[in-house]
Amino acid sequence: MSALPLILVPGLMCNHAVWEPLLPWLAVDRPCSVADHAQADSLPQMAHQLLAWAPAQFVMAGHSMGARVALEVLRLAPERVRGVALMDTGFLPKPSGPAGDDEADKRFALLKIAKEQGVRAMAQQWVRGMVHPDRLCDAELMERILAMFERKSADIFERQIRALLSRPDGSSVLRGLHVPTLLMCGAQDAWSPPAQHQAMQALVPSALGHIDLIEQAGHMAPMERPDEVAHSLSAWLARCAAKTTEDLVH
Protein backbone atom coordinates (compact mmCIF):
# COMPACT_ATOMS: atom_id res chain seq x y z
CA MET A 1 0.00 0.00 0.00
CA SER A 2 1.44 3.38 -1.00
CA ALA A 3 1.82 6.08 1.66
CA LEU A 4 -0.99 8.57 1.97
CA PRO A 5 -0.26 12.08 0.65
CA LEU A 6 0.83 14.57 3.30
CA ILE A 7 -0.58 18.11 3.22
CA LEU A 8 1.46 20.72 5.11
CA VAL A 9 -0.44 23.81 6.22
CA PRO A 10 1.61 26.95 7.00
CA GLY A 11 0.73 29.57 9.58
CA LEU A 12 0.36 33.34 9.67
CA MET A 13 2.51 34.95 6.94
CA CYS A 14 4.33 31.65 6.39
CA ASN A 15 4.80 29.49 3.30
CA HIS A 16 6.75 26.45 2.10
CA ALA A 17 9.90 27.76 3.83
CA VAL A 18 8.56 26.52 7.20
CA TRP A 19 8.46 22.98 5.86
CA GLU A 20 11.52 22.86 3.61
CA PRO A 21 13.95 21.76 6.37
CA LEU A 22 11.71 18.75 7.04
CA LEU A 23 11.21 17.53 3.49
CA PRO A 24 14.36 15.37 3.31
CA TRP A 25 12.63 13.14 5.88
CA LEU A 26 8.95 13.59 5.06
CA ALA A 27 9.01 13.47 1.26
CA VAL A 28 11.12 10.32 0.91
CA ASP A 29 8.24 7.89 0.51
CA ARG A 30 5.13 10.01 0.02
CA PRO A 31 3.90 13.04 -1.94
CA CYS A 32 3.96 16.25 0.10
CA SER A 33 2.04 19.42 -0.78
CA VAL A 34 2.07 22.82 0.93
CA ALA A 35 -1.21 24.71 1.17
CA ASP A 36 -1.44 28.33 0.00
CA HIS A 37 -4.02 30.49 1.76
CA ALA A 38 -3.97 33.05 -1.08
CA GLN A 39 -6.33 35.97 -0.34
CA ALA A 40 -8.55 34.14 2.17
CA ASP A 41 -9.68 36.16 5.19
CA SER A 42 -11.27 33.43 7.32
CA LEU A 43 -10.11 30.05 8.58
CA PRO A 44 -13.15 28.22 7.12
CA GLN A 45 -12.40 29.79 3.72
CA MET A 46 -8.80 28.58 3.94
CA ALA A 47 -10.10 25.09 4.78
CA HIS A 48 -12.52 25.09 1.83
CA GLN A 49 -9.67 26.12 -0.48
CA LEU A 50 -7.49 23.29 0.79
CA LEU A 51 -10.22 20.70 0.34
CA ALA A 52 -10.87 21.89 -3.21
CA TRP A 53 -7.44 20.67 -4.39
CA ALA A 54 -6.59 18.00 -1.82
CA PRO A 55 -6.75 14.28 -2.72
CA ALA A 56 -9.67 12.18 -1.56
CA GLN A 57 -7.69 10.84 1.43
CA PHE A 58 -4.68 12.43 3.09
CA VAL A 59 -2.81 13.10 6.31
CA MET A 60 -2.23 16.67 7.38
CA ALA A 61 0.20 18.68 9.52
CA GLY A 62 -0.52 22.29 10.39
CA HIS A 63 1.75 24.83 12.06
CA SER A 64 0.43 27.75 14.13
CA MET A 65 -2.52 29.30 12.25
CA GLY A 66 -2.18 26.38 9.81
CA ALA A 67 -3.16 23.97 12.59
CA ARG A 68 -6.31 26.00 13.18
CA VAL A 69 -7.02 25.65 9.45
CA ALA A 70 -6.47 21.91 9.85
CA LEU A 71 -9.14 21.85 12.58
CA GLU A 72 -11.56 23.53 10.17
CA VAL A 73 -10.72 20.94 7.50
CA LEU A 74 -11.58 18.25 10.04
CA ARG A 75 -14.82 20.04 10.90
CA LEU A 76 -15.82 20.15 7.22
CA ALA A 77 -14.59 16.77 5.94
CA PRO A 78 -13.41 14.45 8.73
CA GLU A 79 -13.86 11.39 6.49
CA ARG A 80 -11.04 12.57 4.20
CA VAL A 81 -8.36 13.00 6.89
CA ARG A 82 -6.45 9.91 8.09
CA GLY A 83 -4.20 11.66 10.60
CA VAL A 84 -3.46 15.15 11.88
CA ALA A 85 -0.49 16.89 13.50
CA LEU A 86 -1.22 20.18 15.26
CA MET A 87 1.95 22.15 15.91
CA ASP A 88 2.64 25.31 17.95
CA THR A 89 -1.00 26.30 17.99
CA GLY A 90 -4.21 26.75 19.98
CA PHE A 91 -7.88 25.88 19.76
CA LEU A 92 -9.93 28.50 21.59
CA PRO A 93 -11.63 31.53 20.02
CA LYS A 94 -10.53 35.07 20.76
CA PRO A 95 -11.43 35.78 24.37
CA SER A 96 -14.13 38.30 25.14
CA GLY A 97 -13.55 41.50 27.07
CA PRO A 98 -10.19 43.17 27.77
CA ALA A 99 -8.09 40.10 26.94
CA GLY A 100 -9.56 39.90 23.44
CA ASP A 101 -9.26 43.65 22.96
CA ASP A 102 -5.60 43.46 23.99
CA GLU A 103 -4.92 40.70 21.47
CA ALA A 104 -6.56 42.68 18.67
CA ASP A 105 -4.66 45.85 19.62
CA LYS A 106 -1.31 44.04 19.53
CA ARG A 107 -2.07 42.44 16.16
CA PHE A 108 -3.21 45.71 14.61
CA ALA A 109 -0.15 47.52 16.00
CA LEU A 110 2.02 45.10 14.01
CA LEU A 111 -0.18 45.64 10.97
CA LYS A 112 0.32 49.40 11.28
CA ILE A 113 4.10 48.90 11.15
CA ALA A 114 3.74 46.60 8.13
CA LYS A 115 1.68 49.20 6.27
CA GLU A 116 3.79 52.21 7.20
CA GLN A 117 7.31 50.79 7.30
CA GLY A 118 7.03 47.55 5.34
CA VAL A 119 6.57 43.90 6.18
CA ARG A 120 10.25 43.33 6.93
CA ALA A 121 10.29 46.11 9.55
CA MET A 122 7.23 44.54 11.17
CA ALA A 123 8.79 41.07 11.05
CA GLN A 124 11.99 42.27 12.72
CA GLN A 125 9.92 43.17 15.78
CA TRP A 126 7.51 40.25 15.60
CA VAL A 127 10.13 37.52 15.23
CA ARG A 128 11.88 38.34 18.49
CA GLY A 129 9.25 36.48 20.48
CA MET A 130 8.91 33.62 18.01
CA VAL A 131 12.18 31.74 18.42
CA HIS A 132 14.16 30.39 21.36
CA PRO A 133 16.11 33.29 22.91
CA ASP A 134 19.41 31.56 22.16
CA ARG A 135 18.64 31.64 18.42
CA LEU A 136 18.16 35.39 18.14
CA CYS A 137 21.84 35.72 17.24
CA ASP A 138 21.61 32.97 14.60
CA ALA A 139 21.79 35.26 11.55
CA GLU A 140 21.10 32.50 9.02
CA LEU A 141 17.95 31.29 10.79
CA MET A 142 16.65 34.80 11.40
CA GLU A 143 17.16 35.78 7.78
CA ARG A 144 15.25 32.72 6.54
CA ILE A 145 12.32 33.62 8.78
CA LEU A 146 12.37 37.31 7.84
CA ALA A 147 12.64 36.53 4.13
CA MET A 148 9.65 34.19 4.40
CA PHE A 149 7.48 36.86 6.03
CA GLU A 150 8.67 39.45 3.55
CA ARG A 151 7.27 37.43 0.64
CA LYS A 152 3.76 38.27 1.89
CA SER A 153 2.14 41.70 1.60
CA ALA A 154 0.64 43.89 4.30
CA ASP A 155 -2.73 43.24 2.67
CA ILE A 156 -2.34 39.47 3.19
CA PHE A 157 -1.21 40.14 6.76
CA GLU A 158 -4.41 42.09 7.40
CA ARG A 159 -6.59 39.34 5.91
CA GLN A 160 -4.91 36.68 8.01
CA ILE A 161 -5.12 38.77 11.17
CA ARG A 162 -8.86 39.14 10.63
CA ALA A 163 -9.09 35.38 10.07
CA LEU A 164 -7.41 34.74 13.41
CA LEU A 165 -9.47 37.28 15.32
CA SER A 166 -12.65 35.56 14.08
CA ARG A 167 -11.29 32.05 14.71
CA PRO A 168 -13.86 29.38 15.63
CA ASP A 169 -13.68 27.30 18.79
CA GLY A 170 -11.96 24.01 17.95
CA SER A 171 -12.98 22.16 21.13
CA SER A 172 -15.71 20.06 19.52
CA VAL A 173 -13.40 19.07 16.65
CA LEU A 174 -10.75 17.85 19.09
CA ARG A 175 -13.31 15.82 21.04
CA GLY A 176 -14.53 14.19 17.85
CA LEU A 177 -11.16 13.17 16.43
CA HIS A 178 -10.96 9.58 15.20
CA VAL A 179 -7.45 9.51 13.70
CA PRO A 180 -3.89 9.47 15.09
CA THR A 181 -3.25 12.96 16.44
CA LEU A 182 0.08 14.60 17.26
CA LEU A 183 0.24 17.73 19.42
CA MET A 184 3.70 19.22 19.12
CA CYS A 185 5.30 22.47 20.17
CA GLY A 186 8.59 24.04 21.07
CA ALA A 187 9.20 23.66 24.81
CA GLN A 188 9.96 27.39 24.95
CA ASP A 189 7.10 28.50 22.65
CA ALA A 190 5.97 31.80 24.17
CA TRP A 191 3.10 32.27 21.69
CA SER A 192 1.49 28.82 21.96
CA PRO A 193 2.99 27.31 25.12
CA PRO A 194 3.06 23.64 26.14
CA ALA A 195 0.15 24.16 28.54
CA GLN A 196 -2.05 25.05 25.58
CA HIS A 197 -1.18 21.76 23.89
CA GLN A 198 -1.77 19.84 27.10
CA ALA A 199 -5.26 21.38 27.24
CA MET A 200 -5.83 20.18 23.69
CA GLN A 201 -4.60 16.69 24.56
CA ALA A 202 -7.15 16.54 27.38
CA LEU A 203 -9.92 16.89 24.78
CA VAL A 204 -8.62 14.37 22.24
CA PRO A 205 -9.78 10.75 22.73
CA SER A 206 -7.03 9.23 24.87
CA ALA A 207 -6.07 6.38 22.54
CA LEU A 208 -5.38 8.78 19.67
CA GLY A 209 -3.59 11.80 21.10
CA HIS A 210 0.16 12.06 21.60
CA ILE A 211 2.10 15.14 22.74
CA ASP A 212 5.71 15.99 21.92
CA LEU A 213 7.70 18.94 23.24
CA ILE A 214 10.70 20.00 21.17
CA GLU A 215 13.44 21.11 23.53
CA GLN A 216 15.39 24.32 22.91
CA ALA A 217 12.77 25.58 20.44
CA GLY A 218 10.23 28.38 20.33
CA HIS A 219 7.21 28.98 18.11
CA MET A 220 9.12 28.35 14.88
CA ALA A 221 10.16 24.84 15.95
CA PRO A 222 10.11 23.35 12.41
CA MET A 223 12.77 25.86 11.32
CA GLU A 224 14.64 25.95 14.63
CA ARG A 225 14.92 22.19 15.27
CA PRO A 226 14.09 20.40 12.00
CA ASP A 227 15.75 17.10 12.94
CA GLU A 228 13.75 16.72 16.14
CA VAL A 229 10.49 17.88 14.53
CA ALA A 230 10.97 15.50 11.60
CA HIS A 231 11.60 12.61 14.00
CA SER A 232 8.35 13.39 15.84
CA LEU A 233 6.38 13.69 12.60
CA SER A 234 7.87 10.46 11.25
CA ALA A 235 6.70 8.56 14.33
CA TRP A 236 3.22 10.08 13.91
CA LEU A 237 3.16 9.11 10.22
CA ALA A 238 4.00 5.54 11.21
CA ARG A 239 1.02 5.55 13.58
CA CYS A 240 -1.18 6.88 10.77
CA ALA A 241 -0.03 4.12 8.44
CA ALA A 242 -0.66 1.43 11.09
CA LYS A 243 -4.16 2.79 11.80
CA THR A 244 -5.00 2.92 8.09
CA THR A 245 -3.86 -0.70 7.65
CA GLU A 246 -5.89 -1.77 10.67
CA ASP A 247 -9.00 -0.02 9.30
CA LEU A 248 -8.58 -1.75 5.94
CA VAL A 249 -8.23 -5.17 7.58
CA HIS A 250 -11.41 -4.63 9.57
CA distance 198 to 214: 14
Q: Which residues pair with 180 in a beta bridge?
A: none
Tell me how far the alpha carbon of residue 81 is from its chain's centroid. 16
Tens digits of per-residue pLDDT, 197-216? Answer: 999 999 999 888 999 999 99
CB 126 within 8 A of CB 190: no
Asked if residue 49 has pLDDT above 90, the reply is yes
Asked if residue 249 has pLDDT above 70, the reply is no
The pLDDT of residue 245: 74
Rounded average pLDDT over 107-124? 97
Tens digits of per-residue pLDDT, 52-109? Answer: 999 999 999 999 999 999 999 999 999 999 999 999 999 999 999 999 999 999 999 9
Mean pLDDT (the chain) is 95
User: Fold for domain 6-94+163-249?
Assistant: Rossmann fold (3.40.50)
HSE toward the beta carbon, residue 49, CA cutoff 13 A: 16
Tell me how far the alpha carbon of residue 111 is from its chain's centroid. 21
- Banded model confidence at residue 243, pLDDT cuts 50, 70, 90: confident
CA distance 203 to 185: 17
Domain ranges of the chain: 6-94+163-249
